[in-house]
Structure 1
Amino acid sequence: MAWGVFKELLISFLDYKTEKFIVVKNKKIGILYRLIQLAIIGYVIGWVFIIKKGYQETDEAIQTSVLTKLKGVSVTNTSESGPQGEDVLFVVTNFLETPNQKLGYCAESTRVLHGHCRDDEDCEEGQMVVAGNGMMTGRCLRKDEDSTGSCEIYGWCPAERDYNPEGPMLTNAENFTIYIKNYIQFSKFQFAKSNVLETNDDFYLRKCRYDEELHPYCPIFRLGDITRRAGYNFHDMDTVGGSISIMIEWDCDLDKVNFNCNPQYRFTRLDTSDSNMTITKGFNFRHTRYFKNAAGETYRSLFKVYGIRFNIMVHGKAGKFSIIPATINVAAGLALMGGAAVLCDVILLYITKERATHRERKFETPRVDNVEMSERCMRT
């Protein structure tokens, strides 16, 4: 019995099946079939070819370089020295200075929670104060017995003057300008471009300011305009600082006349979120300057610097017609067209009321024995 089943399976495996086309007078199925075909054609033409440009070969490995310069003049209302932003595009708008620090013994800052103490046992000798300014000596310094004191530390003394800035020191910083020169290249297509207007006017860069409509190829941006495009007022950031992302996007269609390849700028503030939590706002870092006095003793000035940091990122892609992706997407569209017939067949053969009749007409197995076949051949 097992051999018989296996034999039948083997014989059926060697059968050849050919398609049989049946015209079914069913308007509902016919309308559905045409609607599916139209939807597939609309998807292939509208989405694949027009919107996604499926006929193009693309290159997203953009090679880029960015050159930046900052210009501006302002006056600070303090006689103390202030640090400069080095190696980064950082505009200093405010700073707090702890001058003339020297290695020695002093009380930890009262703002450091792990430096608070009630007695000497709270200040374990030789342990570093968590988020503090030095190493504990084992002594608790208190004004009186009823008050909470601070652990004595060995480090740069006096401890950092930790207080909140009251206002910006550079009152005119929003009128500073940033020059952002960006070169890009798509090596696959041997295409290169810059975000600076190609002109013979030697004074163009001295008088232009970036504008989406009037001067899209002017690489000079006013700080106040950048923060405004990011959705914030400059004075919301000049006291405690902030971080802004400048995204330069290149979407290049190299099939169009004169190459449709223009830079698009997006500005986003990074140091805040929709929760609007003030604890996460702002941007600052610490900076020190060391010097020696006439006696050869080393001193330093510690600066807590507030300002706006600009993170410049470049993304882009280029596309150009190629027969290979165009052929692949056309073939994929034709394959989807065949799926419309499969879906309608499933509905016709297994869902409609006349499904049994349609299956009987759709699938047919002709039976012709060997004797009858031989007779037909002899007659021929």
Structure 2
Amino acid sequence: MHRSMVCPLCTYDTTKLVRIHSVRLGSLKWTLNATILLFICMVMLWNRKYQHFDLVVSSVTAKVKGVAHMHLPGQGDVIWDVADYSGPSQDKNSFFVVTNVIVTKKQKQGRCPEPPVSGRLCRHDDDCERGSWDQHSNGIQTGSCVMFDMLTRTCEVNAWCPIETKTSPPRPALLASAENFTVLIKNNIRFPAFNVSRRNILPEMNDSYLRICQRANDSLCPIFRLGDVVREAGENFSHMAMEGGVIGIQIKWDCNLDYLTRHCLPKYSFWRLDEKESNKTLYPGFNFRFAKHNEVNGVEERTLYKAFGIRFDIMVFGQAGKFSIIQLVVYIGSTLSYYALTTVLMDWLIGTSCYSSDVRQGYSEKKVESVVDKQKNILCVSYVDEDDIRLVKMCHKRRLQDAKTVGVEPRKDT
């Protein structure tokens, strides 16, 4: 007995194609294909998928200008310029402007009672531990319990005396006039992959232009009035000046280098970064302390300032793109699969009640062919001189007598 069998590794399967002659289906197919093509083209042009992109490398410097007049309690009228209100040096991409202060004058090194808000209440010297301190202390305890006022006794400390006692900032802010200060922001950028450099002070901006330019009339003007920056961030400068805060200045460069480089221009946006509501966060606003030292009659003195103000963080983002045939080919290849949506949708329409049952049945019969699974490669071999039946489940080119037996069943006589 011998039957020919085909090895599974020597076969090839293909998708069965059914062609339906229908004006409605043909029109629908080309409409869907045209819609998909339009969508692909719109996405390619809008997101510039045909370009190779490089991220911006940036450096920023800022220069604040302005003079403020304020009245300090116990000190009188004073004038503060940029050296006074700009505070200590900040991060390289930020600057700080003082808008409100608490001043403690004529502090000297000595011994004095610590305020109850930061010190330890006591009744006897035993309640004070000599040499102890914590993160809320203004000095180191001497071990003595002394009168702070007529009703309160606190532990004495070695510190700069008198110790700062006022905690709430003045209202309204003492330097509310900082609203009219201006800042010149200089931003230099580079796209290394394309060897392109730009800056926000454009070549046509000369010294005369920078003296008179205003952002109200020119969105590219690199000089900003602080009040306008806070207003564009959606805040009120007078309210923010009392406790301070943090404002973000974003400079965005989105450059299409397929056009002239002069079209590569910055866009500015502003928003507040910190939480402004006192009932939603601890320690709202922004403040720090600094001191000015001098010597009186050979004794060192200092004036302590608790400065409230606004920190401006400058953040630069951006990218530049240029045509790349590789990116275009990759994008086209990745979008070809979208056309399978047409086939899926049309098969669904034909298979539902949207089409007649006769057409649906005929299409299903043509497209899908059911095949019953049969084991056609099993051969049963029997010899007259043996009592058993040999089962051969694999095709072999050699003689059946030499084939390896896979299974053996007892032979039954009929």
Band of TM-score, shorter chain: 0.7 to 0.9
Residue 268 (structure 1) shift:
1.0
Write out aligned runs for 1:271-286 (5 A). 271-273=274-276, 277=280, 279-286=282-289
Please tell me whether the aligned partners of residues 97 and 161 of structure 1 are also in contact (alpha carbons under 8 angstroms).
no
Q: What letter matches 2:252 in structure 1?
A: E
Residue 305 (structure 1) shift:
0.9
C-alpha offsets along residues 188-216 of structure 1, whole Å, 9 cap, x if unaligned? 112222212332754111111123xx312
1:23 counterpart (16, 19, 44): 19
Residue in structure 1 matched with residue 105 of structure 2 by the alignment? 99
SS in 2 for 1:166: coil
**Aligned partners of 1:311 and 1:95: how far apart in 2?**
21
**Aligned partners of 1:36 and 1:276: how far apart in 2?**
55
**Aligned partners of 1:185 and 1:269: how far apart in 2?**
27
1:210 and 2:215 matched: yes
The alignment covers a number of residue pairs equal to: 350
Q: What letter matches 1:184 in structure 2?
A: I
SS in 2 for 1:239: helix
**Aligned partners of 1:207 and 1:30: how far apart in 2?**
65
Please tell me whether the aligned partners of residues 252 and 261 of structure 1 are also in contact (alpha carbons under 8 angstroms).
yes
Q: What letter matches 1:188 in structure 2?
A: A
Q: What letter matches 1:77 in structure 2?
A: H
C-alpha offsets along residues 57-115 of structure 1, whole Å, 9 cap, x if unaligned? 1111x122222211112222234777442323222222222223233322112222x63
Residue 240 (structure 1) shift:
2.3
Unpaired segments ≥5 residues, structure 1: 1-7, 366-380
My pick for the range that moved more, 276-285 or 317-326, is 276-285
Change (3 A) 1:364 1:18: farther
Write out aligned runs for 1:1-380 (5 A). 11-24=7-20, 37-47=33-43, 49-60=44-55, 62-78=56-72, 79=75, 83-84=84-85, 85-88=87-90, 89-112=95-118, 115-117=120-122, 120=125, 122-142=127-147, 149-164=153-168, 165-199=170-204, 202-211=207-216, 214-257=217-260, 259-273=262-276, 277=280, 279-295=282-298, 297-338=299-340, 340-341=342-343, 354=361, 357-361=365-369
Please tell me whether the aligned partners of residues 253 and 259 of structure 1 are also in contact (alpha carbons under 8 angstroms).
no
**Aligned partners of 1:200 and 1:154: how far apart in 2?**
57
SS in 1 for 2:134: coil
Residue 302 (structure 1) shift:
1.7
**Aligned partners of 1:175 and 1:341: how far apart in 2?**
65
Residue in structure 2 matched with residue 377 of structure 1 by the alignment? none
Residue 245 (structure 1) shift:
1.0
> Considering only CA atoms, is the larger Rg found in Structure 1 or Structure 2?
2
Q: What letter matches 2:66 in structure 1?
A: G
**Aligned partners of 2:148 and 2:50: how far apart in 1?**
80
Unpaired segments ≥5 residues, structure 2: 374-414
My pick for the range that moved more, 73-82 or 356-365, is 356-365
Q: TM-score normalised to the size of structure 1?
A: 0.78
